[in-house]
Amino acid sequence: MSDMTPDQQYELITRNLQEVLNPQIIKNVLENEDRPLRVYWGTAPTGKPHCGYFVPMVKLAHLLKAGVEVTVLIADLHAFLDNMKAPLEVVQYRAKYYEFVVKSILTSINVPIEKLKFVLGSSYQLTPEYTMDLFKLSNRVSQNDAKRAGADVVKQVANPLLSGLIYPLMQVLDEEYLKVDVQLGGVDQRKIFVLAEENIQALGYKKRAHLMNRMVPGLMQGGKMSASDPNSKIDLLEQPKIVKKKINQAFCAPGNIEDNGLLAFVKNVLGPIYELKHGDGKFQFFIDRPEKYGGPITYNTYKELEDAFKNEQLSPVDLKSGVADAINVLLAPIIEEYSANKEFQEAETKGYPPPAPEPKKNKKVKNRGSKYPGAKEVKVEATKDTSTEVVAEKLDQTKI
């Protein structure tokens, strides 16, 4: 149990979130029930995790610090259902890779992971009881409601598969089968959370609370940071030179603080991580600037940093330099762990094998004869056997 008061726990649990649904459920457990709050965060192992994953990791750190029992659901069947992005055999390796990544990120920001519980979705989602509940839920939820619920999470295509409609129904049931009080997710999952609130009690199960993180703009182009768009993200195993190169290509107009992925990353990732390491209320962002451009500079509040950029006292070049250096510091222990762990490496290699090269097409050489412009003159030589003439055509093959 935490030594914090219920109010202190609630403040930390809900810190920096965009929205909380049914907060009274959380407060009731903290104030009236003699047990820890139980929360789960789920992730489908599809594309490779990127720097955007630091956002939910910071929130998991807050939850653990507040004495919450945290379950991480590695939703392997959800990944399989998401428009068949990978065969199930590959998904199993991706699930292992995601577990390594989550543990490595939390360890890198000094968060103890002993109380963190990992559950593989297929470990309970294939049971008869779960299947029957899925049938019951499918008998309540219309096709349109299921499609709308998954619109911001499941990849939308012109002719969607039935799997995309099953996906949100399973996420509703996961709350009950993981025996939690709260589900954590991004605000892009709000429609699934509402679907759960509207239908879970009809199956005889209790309603849950929902915590929603803000969506952090992509570092490169603004908009949502996506695992499927290499131009919007920085991989967690990215080498320092590549990080700097990508950050230098990021959109960052002078004085523009709207939809600025670099500032958003400082606010939602770098700032909270510094606070976790150094104590509540602490913030620091350091830029190692050459003396000829003003020398190193440190900002002690995010507002100070944002105002300096807005007023063009801080240039995009300097902001990019500071963010790139900070990201490389974050990634260094993750890369070190990966380099030292053969199982981690195998999960990455087999979970994300390089695409097979396309077979080369044999270029068909056209026979243009010997009379085309530029062709060399054909020489005719006779052999010693004068009864038979052997014609040898010696053409310059490099011009064919």
What is the structure's pLDDT at 280? 83
Domain 240-351 top-level CATH class: mainly alpha
Give the mean model confidence (pLDDT) for residues 361-388: 56
Query: Cβ–Cβ contacts within 10 Å for residue 57, how many?
Result: 23
Task: Please answer whether residues 181 and 37 qualify as being in contact, where contact means their C-beta atoms are separated by less than 8 angstroms.
Answer: yes
pLDDT confidence tier of residue 323, bands split at 50, 70 and 90: very high
Backbone angles phi, psi at 42, to 5 degrees: -110, 145
pLDDT tens, position by position, 198-249: 999 999 999 999 999 988 887 766 555 555 555 568 999 999 999 999 999 9
What is the structure's pLDDT at 127? 97
CA pair distance 3, 184, nearest whole angstrom: 23
Which superfamily does CATH assign the domain made up of 6-213 to?
HUPs (3.40.50.620)
CA pair distance 296, 255, nearest whole angstrom: 20
Task: Check pLDDT > 80 for residue 153.
Answer: no
Helices 6-14 and 54-65: crossing angle in degrees, nearest 10, is 180
- Where is pLDDT greater, at 237 or 389? 237
In the chain, where the domains are located = 6-213, 240-351
CA distances to 95, 264, 370 from 55, rounded to whole Å, are 19, 11, 69
pLDDT tens, position by position, 244-276: 999 999 989 999 998 899 999 999 999 999 999
Long-range contacts of 253-256 (CB under 8 A, 24+ apart): 253/316, 254/312, 254/315, 254/316, 255/309, 255/310, 255/311, 255/312
CA pair distance 315, 247, nearest whole angstrom: 14
Backbone angles phi, psi at 171, to 5 degrees: -65, -30
Task: Please answer whether residues 203 and 197 qualify as being in contact, where contact means their C-beta atoms are separated by less than 8 angstroms.
Answer: no
Task: Check pLDDT > 80 for residue 32.
Answer: yes
The terminus-to-terminus CA distance of the chain in angstroms comes to 81
pLDDT tens, position by position, 324-364: 999 999 999 999 999 999 999 999 999 998 876 766 766 66
pLDDT confidence tier of residue 160, bands split at 50, 70 and 90: confident
What is the structure's pLDDT at 233? 82
Task: Check pLDDT > 50 for residue 60.
Answer: yes
Q: Which amino acid is at 278?
A: H
Query: Cβ–Cβ contacts within 10 Å for residue 130, how many?
Result: 17
Give the mean model confidence (pLDDT) for residues 68-83: 89
**pTM summary value:** 0.83
